[in-house]
Each structure stands twice: as C-alpha cells, then as structure tokens.
Amino acid sequence: EYIRLLHNLVGLEAELAERLNLKKVIIIPGDSEADSAVRRELGRAAAGVLSQHLGDNMVVAVSGGSTMAKVAEAINFSVPSTAIVPARGGLGEVVEYQANTIAAVMAGRLGGRYRLLHIPDGVSEETLEAILAGDANLRAVADVIKQANILVHGIGEAVEMAQRRGMPPATIAAIERRGAVGEALGQYCALPGEIVYVTSSIGLRLDDLAGIGTVIAVAGGSAKAKAILAVAGTGGQDVLVTDEAAAKAIQLLI
Ligand code: F6P
C-alpha cells in the first residue's frame, strides 16, 4: 500500500475505474512489458483478486495467454471445491498458453478439479455445431462454462493476436480494416467498444459476461492501452488488473 501511494497510483486507479465503468482497477507499479518482475507482480495481484472472490463450489473460467500463465503460477492458496474451465476453446495458442493448460495448472495449484474443451482450432461454426451435436461430454463442459461464477482473462492487441494465432493474411487485413485494436476471448474490438470480428469457438463471448458474477481482466504494458480501452468499452468487465505503464497510457487516451 505504501509503495502504491508512493507511486501515486491510488488516484489513477479511481479515475480509471470511473472512466472505464469498472468496479475496481488495480495498478501495479512499473512496466510489465519491460520487466519480468512486474509481470510476476501482475500475476500475483490478479491471483489475489481471484482469492477474494472465490467461495466454495464455484466455477472459474480462464483464458489463455502469457499473462494468464503468470496468474496461474502465482496461485498459492487452495480451494479444493473449485472447478476450473477454459473460457473458450481452440484459439490457436501454443500449448503453454492455451486456456486448457492454464485451467489445468490453476486447478492443480488450487487443489480443485478441471474440465477441458477438446476442440480443433480454426474450424467453422457449422463444423463446431456438428462436433457439439455428436459429443455429450463437450456439451456438458460448454454448459459448465456458461455457468461460471468468475472469469479471469487476458487482453491482447488485435493484430498481434491475429498474427500469433496464424490467421490468414486476408483475415488479419479485414480485422485491421474494421479498426480492431484489442482482443479478448477470441473477439476483436474497435474503439470505443465495438466487437468487429469473432473467432468461431465454443465458450464465453464478451456479450455473455453480464451473466457472470465477477469478470477480472489482466493486462499490462503501454502497448495494450487501446486494447484494454476497447475491450472494457464492450461492457461486462468488473475488475481490471494492470500496470503503471498501461494505466498512464490509458489516461492519455481518455
Ligand atoms: O489467447 C488467449 C488470450 O487470453 C487472448 O484473448 C488475449 O488477447 C491474449 O491471450 C493475451 O496474451 P498475453 O497475455 O500473452 O499478452
């Protein structure tokens, strides 16, 4: 608390919460893009927020990404009645950063259970429907995901995420043309908060989030400022855990 006052971040937390229409913003001093110790702190802060909201027998949905991997690593408490599920499947990340992996690691650290979504990447909505129709287990996991009490997810830059996922150049160009700057849950968002491209997948979408008890977004680094603004602008977010670099860059944009 002392160090945060020292960095004068408490006022900025309140300002961003108000302007971004969030219940709470937590700002970690420093720049997680440049400093791995700050990345670790970001993960630790998000794990702390999760522990505050986690009651018995809750379902927690998680996204993938390197930031979420840090959140999973930082969990040092156990709530064995928790069920962890991936928020959305098949978004084309490397194994370490897949939501399934993060869910399994988190469940291991919490002493809880996990359910995974085994669906292929990059298939059409029709194919997904057909897979779902033929797989009762997958349907059951999809139902559990929709009932999540808490969602913890990352936010990324739109074009960077499209490239990281190996999307075809024509799709990347279309995403860019539509003004997308941010991405979360496979959905690409333009400012001030419009969903302009959706990756077909199973699980939560940004427009489902009003029905989820607590939604916690974790993202840092000044490069993600617009991405955070665009995703927050779609609504449904409750808590943002970010760093000083991103927070100050956001402040310049609002
Ligand atoms: O792919 C999962 C995901 O959570 C995306 O929705 C998000 O844009 C990205 O990871 C963030 O990744 P990172 O934390 O590595 O920047």
Which pLDDT score is estimated for 124?
Answer: 86
Report the distance separating Cα 92 and Cα 87, nearest Å: 14
Q: What is the pLDDT of residue 79?
A: 98
Question: What is the position in ligand 1's atom list of the atom closest to the CA of 93?
Answer: 1
**pLDDT reported for residue 93:** 86
Residue 229 to residue 223: CA distance in whole angstroms: 12
Nearest CA to ligand 1 atom 6: 184
Is ligand 1 within 6 A of the CB of residue 149? no
Q: What is the pLDDT of residue 183?
A: 98
Q: What is the pLDDT of residue 20?
A: 97
Q: What is the ipTM of this complex?
A: 0.99
What is the whole-number distance in angstroms between the Cα of residue 2 and the centre of ligand 1? Answer: 31
Model confidence pLDDT, tens digit, residues 156-170: 999 999 999 999 999
Low-confidence ranges of the chain (pLDDT < 50): none
- Residue in 68, 122, 116, 62 with CA at minimum distance from that of residue 92: 122
- Tokens, residue 64: 């993938």
Q: Which amino acid is residue 80, in one-letter code?
A: P
Cβ–ligand 1 contact at 161 (below 6 Å): yes
For ligand 1, say whether the CB of 65 is within 6 Å of any of its atoms: yes
In testing the pocket of ligand 1, which one of 31, 42, 97, 160 has its CB within 8 Å of the most ligand atoms? 97
What separation in Å is there between the alpha carbon of 64 and the centre of ligand 1? 6
